Amino acid sequence: MRAVRLHEHGGPEVLRYDEVPIPEPGPGEVLVRVHAVGVNPPDWYLRDGMSNLPEHVRPKFSLPVIPGTDLSGVVEAVAADVDDFRVGDEVFGLLRFPGFDGSTYAQYVAAPASDLAHKPAGIDHVHAAGAPMAGLTAWQFLIELGHDHPSPFQAAQHRPVPLRAGMTVLVNGAAGGVGHFALQLAKWKGARVIAVASGAHETFLKELGADEFIDYTKSRPEELVHDIDLVLDTVGGPDSKRFLRTLKRGGSQFPVFFGEFDEEETAKLGVTVTGTQVRSNSTQLAELGRLLDAGTVRVAIDSTFALADARAAHERAARGHVQGKIVLTVA
């Protein structure tokens, strides 16, 4: 089979399209013929050698390695101890995350059955492949954590805020993969949503249900809004703390990529800052799949590239301002 592998760390040019053996499914696994692969930030973190993560939280792996965690495809073979799937089933999933051995940039993948759900019948493989990591990240931050694993970025367990009608949620980076799911899930729960993104995404985000749009290239959100119940910041980083001043007392901020915060400041403001790390969860993915099938939530596709053109997909991601998801198609 063909697969994209890393033999060294670096820029998109290090992604190589190789011939490798088809994997054999082990106990608890199924062999999936991959039709589409979601492209996610951990893919380029792996490609870069995890240079953006503190050394003590970097997962262990050896080169060469096949990147990728998200897939949608068809079951080709099933281990004897797997009861939930049969040959021919269409499936999608987030594989082995937060590890980095999902190996989905390939024509075939040996996937843990426990990480898969049946693909929603109402969407194609491209859209299904765009859903797992981004959708589950939004779900575990906003709806239900679904696991008791500690985050490498904080000692306390993350607790989602119950969303309801009458609440106001601000989503920073609302046009991206996690952001556009978060917007839709908050609307599903009845919240009023303020979407922050660049001006090119205004129409798109209003079509997804945003009640208010702020173009961060023209205005500073922290100077325009206040009394927010919840901020989900999909960008994070050192500038994330500027959103604290938008919160009401008792409000919460959830940075997806953890930022830099002062505990004294948050205590003085009477707000909570908390985050988590997404994990594979087939039950939650099946719930998200039902929303996708019903059209309650949709996956926006920024662009698609053939598996052999993974380099171009990573170059597209590096240019930024992605609207929804980048997906690789697999022949």
Average pLDDT for residues 322-331, to the nearest whole number?
97
120 and 87 in a common domain:
yes
Cis peptide upstream of residue 64 (ω within 30 degrees of 0): yes
CA distance 235 to 302: 18
Instruction: Give mean pLDDT, residues 100-108.
Output: 97
Q: Are residues 127 and 156 in the same domain?
A: no
pLDDT tens readout for residues 301-314: 999 999 999 999 99
- State whether 316 and 220 are in the same domain: no
pLDDT, one tens digit per residue, over 169-221 is 999 999 999 999 999 999 999 999 999 999 999 999 999 999 999 999 999 99
What mean pLDDT comes out for the span 44-64? 82
pLDDT at site 159: 87
| Spatial distance between the Cα atoms of 245 and 239, rounded to a whole number of angstroms | 12
Segment 131-158 shows an average pLDDT of 88
Assess contact for 71 and 95: CB atoms under 8 A. yes
Q: Are 31 and 89 in contact (CB under 8 A)?
A: no
Inform me whether the pLDDT recorded for 58 exceeds 90: no
Residue 49 gets the label, from left (phi > 0), alpha (psi -120 to 50) or beta, of left
- In terms of domains, do 126 and 52 share one? yes
Residue 172 and residue 129 in one domain? no
Q: What is the pLDDT of residue 237?
A: 82
pLDDT tier at 68 (50, 70, 90 boundaries)? very high
122-123-129-130 Cα dihedral, nearest 10 degrees: -110
Same domain, 304 and 269: no
Given a cut of 90, whether residue 57 has pLDDT beyond it is no
- The region that residue 87 occupies, defined by phi over 0 for left and psi between -120 and 50 for alpha, beta otherwise, is beta
The helix or strand, by DSSP H or E, that contains position 33, with its residue range, turns out to be strand 29-39
Task: Read off the pLDDT band of 51 (50, 70, 90).
Answer: confident
Residues 118 and 154 in one domain: no
Q: Which residues pair with 78 in a beta bridge?
A: 30
| pLDDT greater than 80 at residue 56 | no
pLDDT at residue 55 tops 90 = no
Taking each helix axis as running N to C, give the angle between helix 41-48 and helix 310-319, from 0 to 180 degrees, rounded to the nearest 10: 100
Whichever domain contains 29, its CATH number is: 3.90.180.10
Q: Is the pLDDT of residue 323 over 80?
A: yes
Q: How many CA atoms lie within 13 A of 189 on its CB side?
A: 21
Q: Are both 121 and 159 inside the same structural domain? A: no
Among 54-68, 219-233, 251-265, the least confident range:
54-68
Q: What is the pLDDT of residue 225?
A: 97
**Count of domains observed in the chain:** 2
Question: What DSSP letter does each residue of 173-195 carry, written as one string?
Answer: TTTSHHHHHHHHHHHHTT-EEEE
Could you tell me if 127 and 81 lie in one domain? yes
Q: Are residues 112 and 73 in the same domain?
A: yes
Residue 146: per-residue pLDDT: 85
Evaluate whether residue 166 is within a structural domain. Answer: yes
Average pLDDT of the residues in 233-244: 91
As a three-state string, the secondary structure of 193-220 is EEEEECHHHHHHHHHCCCCEEEECCCCC
Q: How much is the average pLDDT of 88-110? A: 97
Q: Which structural domain, as residue segments, surrounds residue 91?
A: 2-133+300-329
Residue 54 above 80 pLDDT? no
Is residue 278 domain-resident? Answer: no
164 is written with which tokens? 């309801």
Residue 294, classed as helix, strand or coil, is: helix
Residue 258 is predicted with a pLDDT of: 75
Q: Would residue 144 count as lying in a domain? A: no
104 pLDDT tier (thresholds 50, 70, 90): very high
Q: Which long-range contacts (CB under 8 A, 24 or more apart) does 155-161 make?
A: 156/274, 158/254, 158/274, 158/275, 158/276, 159/274, 161/229, 161/230, 161/252
pLDDT of residue 44: 95
Residue 256: what pLDDT? 92
Q: What percent of the chain has pLDDT over 90?
A: 87
The answer on 247 and 165 residing in a single domain is: yes
